[in-house]
Amino acid sequence: MTVMRSGSSRLSVAGEIMQYLTNTPIVWDRIAYLDRWAAQNGCGAVVTFVGVVRPDRDGQRTVHALFYEAYPQMAERLIQRLMDEARTHWLLDGVQIQHRLGLVEIGQTSVVVVVSARHRAQAYAASQFLVDGIKHEVPIWKREYYDDGTSQRITGTPELLDIADPSGADHAHV
């Protein structure tokens, strides 16, 4: 099933239209639209996960925005595969994913995962599988921007930051 986009232009990378990555803010109207779409097909449960940028503290500084970048073509391919796996495994009626790229400010949505299924257990499990898959497999990276004007890449492997930047200096620009 194809989801029509409401009021947002699609991201194009090297002539290829992105289905799941977007440069434009994911507003609540858009999330509600995906919810309504997923609730069709006679399903019994819709689970919507909304990832929101939070103002984490890091010592004296506080996060005020995240910047997301991706290997877009591969990210799209892996997201599509995760969706196909979830659809087959949990017999989903519908599944949609949108992930932001670029600068996302505190309180804004970074990712939306919507799944619909016959029963809630399937929908919950599929939602968790997809969010975990996005976090662990899909080539997307974030950088934290702080209120003191500094920034730092984020990685699940913290020692990597020391190897990448032994001086410990922060980058002021992306």
Partner 1 sequence: MDVRVRFFAMLRDAAGTEECQLALELGARGVEAKTTLVARYPRLDGLIDYVRLAVNQEYQPWEVPLHDGDEIGLIPPVSGG
Q: Which residues bind partner 1 (CB under 8 A)?
A: 51, 68-71, 73-75, 77, 99, 110-111, 131, 134-142, 153-157, 160-161, 163-165, 171
- Nearer to partner 1 among residue 49 and residue 124 (C-beta): 49
Contact 72, 13 (CB under 8 A): yes
CB of 99 to partner 1, least distance (A): 6
CB of 119 to partner 1, least distance (A): 26
Q: Quick one: how far is CA 152 from the chain centroid? A: 19
CA 58 – CA 170 distance, rounded (Å): 13
Q: Quick one: how far is CA 101 from the chain centroid? A: 8
- Residue 52 pairs in a beta bridge with 109
- Nearer to partner 1 among residue 43 and residue 53 (C-beta): 53
- Nearer to partner 1 among residue 118 and residue 142 (C-beta): 142
Structure tokens at 52: 């929101």
